[in-house]
Amino acid sequence: MRVSWILRKVWISLCVCGLLSLPACQQTTTSQPAIRVGDSESADRGAKEPAQPPRDASDDFFDNGVIPQLKIELKESQAKKLREDARRYAKCKLIETTADGETTYTDVAIKLKGAAGSFREFDDRPAFTLNMHKHLKGQTFHAMEKLHLNNSVQDESYLCEWLCSDLCRDAKVPATRVTHARVWLNDRDLGLYVLKEGFDQPFLKRHFGDATGNFYDGGFVQDIDADLEKDSGQGPDDHSDLRALQAACLEPDPEKRWPVIEERLDVNAFVSFMALELMTCHWDGYTPNKNNYRIYFEPPHGKARFLPHGMDQMFGDPGFPILEYFEPMVASAVMHNPDWRKRYRERVAELLPLFEPKRLHDKLDAVLARLQPVVATMGEEFVNAHADRVRELKERIAAREPNLREQLQNGDPTPLEFEGNTPIELADWFPAQEIDDTKVEEVEIDGQKRYSIQADDSGQCVASWRRKVLLAKGRYRIEARMRTESVEPREDEQGTGAGLRISGGKRDNKLTGDTDWQMVSHEFEVLEDVRDVILVAELRATRGRVWIEPIAHLFRIEVP
């Protein structure tokens, strides 16, 4: 759904008259009594907090609940820069108007932000990142060096980011603070925006007491094995901290894996981070989708802290799973440790009081009280549409808390059960590809369904059909029938040509050239008590095609 947010100039009079300043009883950060969460032993292990810094202008800005009007002024030469390269900073002037008057900020660095679903071009309704001190050292916006203006095109309630940021901080998970703003771009009225503080030096000092550690942007659907962008930090520039965490998570021996992970990751903090992502249904976060996250290697021990980001599509599915074994490597490693998994379940139970529907509804009502004067100026159609989106969000929130309790009560998923030597048939595989220039499709040959992978014009093909299975400790063999045509193998340490393996593993089996239908098999071992395994039927080639029968067979060949 999309709503065109067309705001009228009456907003100026509302700001100047002070109609958007709330009395103390309606200020959003003080409207709810504090709920103590995290006093148990499982939450406190290793979860020390730095001494609270003195209040600054950012605290007053977010606490007051005022919605400022922000006018962004760019010269045509600077606007041209953003049209040509949206991710490269240009210069602008920022004029802020509130009931207290007008403030002008000069030489502000500005660029467009957003990913596949939220990005809009400069002449549309873009989202912005503003860096206050890039060109003018010492300049801040209410003590913030960086802030974001989000167009909220994927959240027409404009409330998800605020609510989930507040939930994270209630659970002692560092998250950026959120409010709202009315935005103009030159003389063009862009409407209502979500205003977020940036992950800047003041943010890091506020939450960790020391901002000198390496701070990484997770990028778009990238795990820690990618060369993530380093935004700040005095540590090494060679990604060695990320590579060390990656190596720890991929250590094949579980007995060696757990201690090296603890050396590189604040496990207790990650358990809380993971719990909040899944409980708020953050399907596009790190835990489910290796997206929308930041990593800070906290001094002096240098352990990784994961921070949530991009929380605009939340509570979408009240039945969103919280006990699955998710694929991103840090989440997968932590969830497969029995002690850490137990700690995770305990943390979810501890956080449940934060999700009580009336509590969250009251929080939303407090924010709506300060938004209402803005909403009321937008006409009956907008008022009704916004009310519908808020009502739908409240309904999903009301359904989430009982579902969380039900999932905890039902317990962990159980591994596949084998009857003697009888294999289990595996259908319903899903496609995946590392290189876009590849055809991965389901086809019909002589009336029978087949999976197909074909190299295209680029001469590079790394693609697969995959199937996730939950397995107990033991040794296994996967078998599938495959046929190739004109396959020229691509040299790769994980395997060449067409073949079978498991995700994260290597294979010796391979089909190249032209082959008739034949059985391909791969043996592997599960060393943990329970392990989520992704089976991979793939093609790594410079040209050619492979066909795969859609039903494979999995054998358990050795029980410990």
Between 166 and 3, whose confidence is greater? 166
Nearest to 336 by CA among 65, 473, 532, 157: 532
Examine the domain organization and report whether 361 and 439 are in the same domain.
Answer: no
Name the more confident of 12 and 245: 245
Q: Give the per-residue pLDDT at 560.
A: 80
How many angstroms separate the CA atoms of 356 and 398, rounded? 8
**Per-residue pLDDT reduced to its tens digit, 180-209:** 999 999 999 999 999 999 999 999 999 999
Query: What are the C-alpha distances in Å from 379 to residues 157, 369, 384?
Result: 16, 17, 9
Report the C-alpha gap between 69 and 321 in whole angstroms: 40
Question: What is the per-residue DSSP string for 28-66?
Answer: TTTSS-------SHHHHTT---PPPPPP-HHHHHHHH--
Strand partners, 128: 112, 149
Q: Average pLDDT of 543-551?
A: 96
Residue 95 has pLDDT above 90, yes or no: yes
CA distance 383 to 371: 11
The answer on pLDDT for 28 being more than 80 is no
Query: What pLDDT does 35 receive?
Result: 53
The C-alpha atoms of residue 412 and residue 345 are separated, in whole angstroms, by 10
- Could you say which of 295, 322, 354 is where a domain stops? 354
Asked if 450 and 484 count as a contact pair (C-beta separation under 8 A), the reply is no
| CB 163 within 8 Å of CB 360 | yes
Beta strand 69-73 with 430-433: parallel, antiparallel or unpaired? unpaired
Work out the pLDDT band at 148, boundaries 50, 70, 90.
Answer: very high
For residue 419, being part of any structural domain is answered with: no
* Rounded Cα–Cα distance for residues 217 and 25 (Å): 37
| pLDDT at residue 501 greater than cutoff 50 | yes
356 burial type by CB count under 10 A (0-12 exposed, 13-18 middle, 19+ buried):
middle
The per-residue pLDDT for 12 is 32
The residue from 303, 334, 354 where one domain ends is: 354
Residues 122 and 262 in one domain: no
pLDDT in tens, 69-82: 999 999 999 999 99
Does residue 403 lie in a domain region? no
Q: Across residues 405-415, what is the average pLDDT?
A: 95
- What the block records as the tokens of 528 is 């943990």
For the beta carbon of residue 174, count every other beta carbon within 10 angstroms: 21
Same domain for 239 and 262, yes or no, is yes
- What is the pLDDT, as a whole number, of residue 24? 32
> E strand or H helix at 190, and its extent?
strand 188-197
Indicate the range of 260-269, 427-436, 537-546 predicted with least confidence: 427-436
Per-residue pLDDT at 382 = 79
Residue 117 is predicted with a pLDDT of: 80
Q: Strand ranges (DSSP E) for 434-507?
A: 438-445, 448-455, 461-489, 497-502
Residue 212, domain member (yes or no): no
Q: Is-contact 216 295, C-beta < 8 A?
A: yes
Distance CA(316)–CA(167), nearest Å, equals 16
Q: Is 86 exposed, middle or buried (0-12, 13-18, 19+ CB in 10 A)?
A: middle
Pairing state of beta strands 178-185 and 69-73? Answer: parallel
Residues 378, 453 share a domain = no
Residue 458 pLDDT level (bands cut at 50, 70, 90): confident
List the helix and strand counts (H, then E) for the chain: 14, 19
**High-pLDDT (> 90) share of the chain, %:** 80
Percent of the chain residues past pLDDT 70, beyond the cut: 91
pLDDT of residue 41: 44
* 51: β partners: none
Residue 118 has what pLDDT? 86
Q: Is residue 147 part of a domain?
A: yes
Same domain (yes/no): 335, 362: no
pLDDT for position 39 = 43
**Residue 25, pLDDT score:** 33
**Between the CA atoms of 480, 484, 490 and 496, what dihedral angle is there, to the nearest 10 degrees?**
30
- Check whether residue 49 and residue 194 sit in a common domain: yes
Please tell me whether residues 500 and 483 are part of one structural domain. yes
pLDDT of residue 10: 33
pLDDT at 337 over 90: yes
pLDDT-derived band of residue 51, with 50, 70 and 90 as boundaries? low
When pLDDT is cut at 50, 70 and 90, the band that residue 11 belongs to is very low
pLDDT > 50? residue 525: yes
Better-scored residue on pLDDT, 18 or 475: 475
Mean pLDDT of 207-235: 95
Domain check: are 146 and 38 in the same one? yes
**Is residue 409, in this structure, part of any structural domain at all?**
no
Q: Is residue 369 predicted with pLDDT exceeding 90? A: yes
Query: Average pLDDT for residues 29-37, to the nearest whole number?
Result: 44
Supply the pLDDT for residue 522: 98
Flag whether pLDDT at 449 surpasses 60: yes
CA-based R_g, the chain, Å: 26
Query: Are 349 and 361 members of one domain?
Result: no
Give the residue with greater pLDDT, 386 vs 311. Answer: 311
Statement to judge: residues 323 and 463 lie in one domain: no
**Of 354, 379, 410, at which residue does a domain stop?**
354
Q: What value does the mean pLDDT take over residues 430-454?
A: 91
Helix (H, G, I), strand (E, B) or coil at 516: coil
CA 2 to the chain's CA centroid: 22
pLDDT band at 439, cuts 50/70/90? very high
CATH of the domain at 430: 2.60.120.260
Tell me what the mean pLDDT of segment 255-278 comes to: 97
pTM of the predicted model over 0.85 = no
Q: Is residue 412 part of a domain?
A: no
Residues 6+ apart with CB under 8 A from 47: 38, 172, 268, 269, 272
> 215-225: buried (b, 16+ CB within 10 Å) or exposed (e) per residue?
bbebbeebbbb
> Could you report the per-residue pLDDT of 338-364, keeping only the tens digit for each?
999 999 999 999 999 999 999 999 999
Residues 39 and 147 in one domain: yes
Q: How far is CA 274 from the centre of its chain?
A: 10
Q: Yes or no: say if 295 and 304 are a contact pair by the CB < 8 Å rule.
A: yes
Task: State the amino acid at position 343 in one-letter form.
Answer: R
Domain membership flag for residue 541: yes
**Does 36 reside within a domain?**
yes
pLDDT band at 40 (very low <50, low <70, confident <90, very high): very low
What mean pLDDT value characterizes the chain? 89
- Closest of 115, 164, 116, 174 to residue 311, by C-alpha: 164
186: left (phi over 0), alpha (psi -120 to 50) or beta: left
Q: How far apart are CA 290 and CA 303, in angstroms?
A: 19
H or E element that contains 381 = helix 380-410
Predicted confidence band at 6 (pLDDT cuts at 50, 70, 90)?
Answer: very low
pLDDT (0 to 100) of residue 37? 56
Alpha-carbon distance 235 to 214, whole Å? 6
How confident is the model at residue 48, as a pLDDT? Answer: 52
Neighbour-count burial for 71-80, b at 16+ CB within 10 Å, e otherwise: bbbbeeebbe
Domain count, the chain: 3
pLDDT surpassing 60 at residue 46: no
The H-assigned helical ranges of 45-141 are 57-64, 76-84
Distance CA 249, CA 270 (A): 13
Give the mean pLDDT of 132-137: 95
**Side by side, which strands form the sheet with 293-298?**
229-232, 215-217, 293-298, 303-308
Q: Are residues 28 and 149 in the same domain?
A: yes
Q: Which domain holds residue 385?
A: 10-203+356-395
Structure tokens at 227: 């060369």
- The token pair that represents 102 in the structure block: 């007008």
